[in-house]
Amino acid sequence: MVKMFMLMKHKPTLFIEGDSNLKKGFKQLISKEIKKKFSIKMGEGKHTTIRKFKHDKLSSVKFLLIDLDGAESKKPNDITANSLTEFSERSFYMIQKMEGWFLSQPEKLDSHWQISSFSSIQKHGKEFPDPDNWIDEQLKKYGKRYHKTRDPIDILANLDIERLKSDFEEVKELVDSMHEQLRKQ
């Protein structure tokens, strides 16, 4: 007896570097712009996320969102180093890290922690070489700490995606690419 299996393609998938706790925040943020159904798969570390993205065979369309951990100029080297050249049109970066996005909207940080320390930031979010540690150092002045998997959930959900698209070319390109690919479905 021969058994036949039919592979069903799943909905479009966005693979994101980060702890699974962050999925809800990313979904709320991106759903402000993308109204069609898509799934998010969190990959924990960068290399695990890239591996999951590359080996996924079930998603109808897939996108990758990872930390660059460096200046924008390092993107071409990172694409090559992680063998993402064939996926470069669907690979996007958080510059430097996701926390750079937070620092681009400092009032969201003030609101989250109910303090007024971040609103006076004069630098752009991508100008901080280690934004998560910088946030933590600022919070220590208030006897608080930054928890990398707990705090971002609400902060992500409250970010203004239009401002992110304006401040970070990678966010705009991700959203535009998702719109384009989802329109074809």
Per-residue pLDDT reduced to its tens digit, 105-140: 999 999 999 998 898 888 889 899 899 999 999 999
Residues recorded for the chain: 185
pLDDT at 3: 58
**Least confident window among 15-19, 83-87, 178-182:** 178-182
Which tokens in the block code for residue 59?
């998603």
Which tokens in the block code for residue 176?
């535009």
Confidence category of residue 8, pLDDT binned at 50, 70, 90:
very low
Cα end-to-end distance, the chain, whole Å: 36
Q: What residues does each domain of the chain span?
A: 62-183
Continuous H helices in 84-159: 98-103, 106-113, 131-140, 151-158
Whether pLDDT at 6 is above 50? no
The string over 66-93, giving b where at least 16 C-beta atoms fall within 10 Å of a residue's C-beta and e elsewhere, is bbbbeeeeebeebbeebebeebeebbbb
The per-residue pLDDT of the chain, averaged, comes to: 91
Whether pLDDT at 2 is above 70? no
- Predicted confidence (pLDDT) per residue in 41-90, tens digit: 999 899 999 999 999 988 879 999 999 988 888 999 999 999 999 999 99
22: amino acid identity, one letter: L
